[in-house]
Structure 1
């Protein structure tokens, strides 16, 4: 029997995190025979919801807020059965003296709260927001598949390539600067670094474009929907199956590794081109992110009541304080 005839699978995916699951679903729904192998006992990676504190409380293991899940062209149509909850305010950023910066879906409403900085916020957001669908699709798609006009991409790149510290100078007041700085800090970069401003711009833009939603039932509901679709398309999910070498995998047309760079080197070994293996081995991981889960006995008594109406709260202080903290982390 030929090797091709012996194949029972068209694709083997190693790792059932969100990226691996999405790839598996897309291939399975395109008619490929797909098997997914996951070392953990449950799929999802960090996209899980568990009882991490006291009885009756469930917490997302990693992220809870998913603007990119709504905006991603790869996920479009895959999560139709997930119920998305949109808070009244996408984001709140409390400041001293009972003040708070607020990001709303409405650009007009957000700008109206900013005083003189409102027109500056509008000038920064409005050009990209007008063609946000195609622009976001282009940013989140392979570079060979642009969805926005070359002019729109060039304009976003010209602004988004700047450090957050440069873009923050557009604003005069603490509120707008802090709101932008909190978004930019999601880059986990020194805010003086190029592109850090682009991350802040993109996340603020998404707040206006699709919101910053949470999934009803927790992030595990996203994983559950992807697994359901995989099974419905004939795909197979095998948990508790750690892969340490490609030789452990069944024959397939394609192997997809949803792994870290160094894990790829360990699994693939000398099958990788030497130069590429060296590049992966030298990959420098970014700063870590610390997460603390609380089981609260009541609402947080925010000094500004509007903060309680937001789905995400950034407790980073002023832009200057955020930038200083990120600079210290970047220095090690």
Structure 2
């Protein structure tokens, strides 16, 4: 391998996790190189004019409550590198089948008034829930986003909550959303805000752990909103790239890594599809765990138990996304939906459960749940004045082959749901783009089969079970190789935590106590995989 380029760390993939990892390492003085297969950085955080000139569409992720709240991303001070957050007048609206609307607003009184319209007293109960969240928010986010077990943040949480409070919180972590909201609220409005937000994962209202996902997103929405980067999600990626480069790191696009090089059982670099070799002390990969370990490393370098576990890896639901360029704002029948950046619609609580059951049975839901974005409402730079850039996505069964005709039929059904709640919507459409699972994966191979969270959010594949039974950390069974993507703990979402965790693990492995760290990790992994 004479003549190979040599760096301290090579990062495979330039999604927000990969770029966060690169920034943390570069800040530590390491020589860092990020290799990205696509012709532009960002992974699932990218923006383009898909429909008509002047209409900017986020290709994948759009709203970023976790990004704005995430300790790893906040520590990077991306605002100094061009990032500017924008907010819609209201955070979220859930439109019920009968056109009643539950509104989540950054103004607690506005939220309370909306929820009291469904059941008197629910507004007060919501505000109490939010006050409890505010008291533990910082320690909670640290605990959720750092490697498992979260010793320091967990200890602080225990002190704040007390033993009884900690036990009740642990119970909440395991609860289905339906049970949680039935215990907390009387009216449909509050219940649907939490259960609907749980649907940002692949968990229905009757599945364990769906409560905590819905609760967390709602509380973040109440606290900081669902902000969007001005100019498009790609602005967040651009700020991350500038942050990496300002610390001395490099980001190269159109460089697809086809192999992680393994010598004497350890990762020593990568080889690109173009034949270039990059030697490195450590390799960090912002790609799904099965792709990294089975394809880029190879089963021959893995214990049989790990290979078996990876072949059992469960993806989350597939996704169909429809983008629209609209000549005017969406004409909602109930105007309470007009000012919300994010809109949920299509079904009530039982409808959420039915749609989830259809997906589990391999069926396209007859009555789908839609998650919509009114992007110009949130950020006026997204389209010409007086117009609207909008999108909606819905879940589809995973591991199915989709023809273009089938996807168009589903897109038409999605459009019909919007038209039912906003008569005249179809007449406003001047451009439409349909992205089904094959297209999503072709643009970003990490979205395997159209899965947007790199694995189910089910409790059986979280914490020490993510991506396979292990340590709940970024370390892999191949020394020198660290999993920095969303299939590692803490999972999906634009928060950079998986990348930051991987970077810190890499730093620890090469520190003065590195030999002891590496020996401890090897012993633990040997016990798990034997």
Please report the TM-score for the alignment, with normalisation by the length of structure 2. 0.59
Number of corresponding residues:
328
Q: Report the Cα offset of residue 7 of structure 1.
A: 7.7
- For residues 123 and 10 of structure 1, what CA distance do their matches in structure 2 show? 49
Q: Is the 8 A contact 2:205 2:349 kept in 1?
A: no
Q: Is the 8 A contact 1:73 1:141 kept in 2?
A: no
Please report the TM-score for the alignment, with normalisation by the length of structure 1. 0.92
Q: Is the 8 A contact 1:191 1:327 kept in 2?
A: no
Q: Which among 243, 250, 255 is matched to residue 241 of structure 1? A: 255
What is the aligned partner in structure 2 of residue 165 from structure 1? 178
What is the aligned partner in structure 1 of residue 90 from structure 2? 89
Q: Is the 8 A contact 1:17 1:47 kept in 2?
A: yes
What is the aligned partner in structure 2 of residue 119 from structure 1? 124
Q: Is the 8 A contact 1:71 1:137 kept in 2?
A: no
Q: Report the Cα offset of residue 97 of structure 1.
A: 4.5
1:93-172 matched pairs, under 5 angstroms: 93-115=94-116, 116=120, 117-145=122-150, 146-147=152-153, 148-150=156-158, 152=161, 154-170=167-183, 171-172=185-186
- For residues 168 and 93 of structure 1, what CA distance do their matches in structure 2 show? 15
Structure 1: tracts of 5 or more residues without a match: none
Per-residue CA distance 1:182-225 (angstroms, 9 max, x = gap): 11111211321110111001100111222110110000000101
- For residues 314 and 74 of structure 2, what CA distance do their matches in structure 1 show? 32
For the aligned residue pairs, the C-alpha RMSD in angstroms reads: 2.0
**1:204 is aligned to 2:221:** no
**1:213 is aligned to 2:227:** yes
Q: Report the Cα offset of residue 306 of structure 1.
A: 2.4
1:1-332 matched pairs, under 5 angstroms: 8-78=6-76, 79-80=78-79, 81-115=82-116, 116=120, 117-145=122-150, 146-147=152-153, 148-150=156-158, 152=161, 154-170=167-183, 171-247=185-261, 248=271, 249-264=277-292, 265-269=294-298, 270-332=300-362
- For residues 82 and 45 of structure 1, what CA distance do their matches in structure 2 show? 17
- For residues 156 and 108 of structure 1, what CA distance do their matches in structure 2 show? 26
Structure 2: tracts of 5 or more residues without a match: 262-270, 272-276, 363-530
Q: Is the 8 A contact 2:136 2:157 kept in 1?
A: no
SS in structure 2 opposite 1:128?
A: helix
Q: Report the Cα offset of residue 82 of structure 1.
A: 0.9
Q: Is the 8 A contact 1:184 1:197 kept in 2?
A: yes
